[in-house]
Structure 1
Amino acid sequence: MKTTQLSVNPEKLINSLRFSFTQSTTVLGELMQNARRAGATFVSFEYSQDTRTLTVCDDGCGIACLETLLTVAESGWDIEVIEREYPFGLGVRREVA
C-alpha cells in the first residue's frame, strides 16, 4: 500500500491567509480569541511600520503539541470549544521563555 501525505508550503499559506479575512482588523479579533481560549489574562500587540511586522504577546498556556500547530484545520481545542466557537485551526503561537 502506498501512502500519500498532504504537504503545505507554510510561507505561501500564511501569505494567502490575508484573503481569508473580510476586514483588515479581523485578524486582530482572531488573535484575541486565540489568546482568550489559551487562558491569557494579558495580550499586547506591537506593530512596526518599518518592517511591517505585527508582534503579539500573551500569557496564555501556549500550544501543547507543535504538530497540531503545523496541521491544517486542526485546532487542538476540546470539543466544547469547537462546538461553541468553530476555531479556524491554523495559527502560529510563539512561546517566550
Structure 2
Amino acid sequence: MVMNHSTAQNYPIPEIWINKHIAAKILGLSIHTLKKLRSEKARPEDRLLEGIHFVRYGKYCVRYNAELLRDYAATRSDPKTHRRAIETYLASLPSNQPKRVGRARQIS
C-alpha cells in the first residue's frame, strides 16, 4: 500500500520528537531559553540532557522528547520525581529490554 497524504491522515503518528517551537510552548519558555537549557551554562539541576530530553540530527536539527518535557515542566520543583520519569523512559526503550534466552526458531 502506498502511503500518500490522504491515507497518512488515517494513521496518526504520535509526536514523540518535536521541534524547538513546540518544545518552547510546552515549557512556556522562549526558544533562546530552551537553547540555554541545553548548554553547559544552565544549572545542572535545570539542564536538559542530550539523548534523553533532546537529540541532534546533524549540526542544526534538534528534536525534543515531548513526553519528558511535559514531565520536566510539571516536576520542576521536585527533580527526584523527574529522575524517576527518565529512568522509566530509558527502561522502556527496546535497547534496554532483556535478551531472549534460548535458540532461535527455524522458520520453514
TM-score under structure 1 length normalisation: 0.26
- The structure showing larger relative contact order (alpha-carbon pairs under 8 Å, at least 6 residues apart) is 2
TM-score under structure 2 length normalisation: 0.25
